[in-house]
Amino acid sequence: MAVEKTLILIKPDGVKRRLTGEVIKRLEQKGLNIKGLKMMKLSVEKAEKHYSVHNGKPFFKDLVSYITSGPIIAMVAQGNNSISVVRGLVGATDGSKAAPGTIRGDFSISIDKNIIHASDSVESFNHEYPIFFEEPEILDFSYGDEKLF
Ligand code: CMP
């Protein structure tokens, strides 16, 4: 059992479709602890840094232009194996292939407007979270109900 942190973004399509509450509800119901949360409009510079692993791929330019096109919600959530747990809640990258019951499977039918991003490894989390959060914005507190999950 590894207590991990993961970075989650609700993308512009998720925010504009008013799915923020739905996504947070699913994270909370699972027992994940949200430790940082903000709404922001990402700069092109930050978007290119966040998605640097995709730089050079044919979809990179559209990806950066899309993620900077409107407000996003950035979150840091903590919990047991939270990286793989959240990836499971999120579902496959392509919404048209994601399983029903997952966030993308329930709300997306495309690969680009797929509602949500989540770190895929500890290395990705360590690369990603400083782009969105200053260290003091990730709060060290206990919800007090951890034993119930
Ligand atoms: P995300 O989890 O944010 O990580 C990279 C994003 O690139 C991915 O979700 C998709 O929304 C987007 N993307 C667009 N086109 C492709 C593609 N052909 N293959 C993979 N990812 C793509």
pLDDT digits (tens, 9 = 90+) for 57-82: 999 999 999 999 999 999 999 999 99
With contact defined as beta carbons under 8 Å apart, do 94 and 114 qualify?
yes
Establish whether 50 is a catalytic residue: no
Supply the pLDDT for residue 146.
Answer: 87
- For the chain, the domain total comes to 1
Question: Cβ < 6 Å from ligand 1: which residues?
Answer: 54, 59, 63, 93, 111-112, 114, 117
3-state secondary structure of 101: coil
Q: How far is the CA of 134 from the centre of ligand 1 (A)?
A: 26
The phi and psi torsions of 65 (rounded to 5 degrees) equal: -65, -35
CATH number at residue 80: 3.30.70.141
Q: How many Å lie between the centroid of ligand 1 and the Cα of residue 113? A: 9
Element (H, E) at 124: helix 122-132
Mean pLDDT by 10 residues, the chain (149 residues): 95 98 98 98 98 98 98 98 98 98 98 98 98 98 92
pLDDT at 73: 98
Q: Which pLDDT score, from 0 to 100, does residue 123 have?
A: 98
Does the pTM of the predicted model rise above 0.85? yes
Is residue 56, in this structure, part of any structural domain at all?
Answer: yes
| 123 occurs within a structural domain | yes
Answer yes or no: is 145 within a domain: no
| 143 within domain boundaries | no
Look at residue 132 in the predicted model and tell me its pLDDT: 98
Inside any domain, residue 73: yes
Range of the domain at 87: 3-134
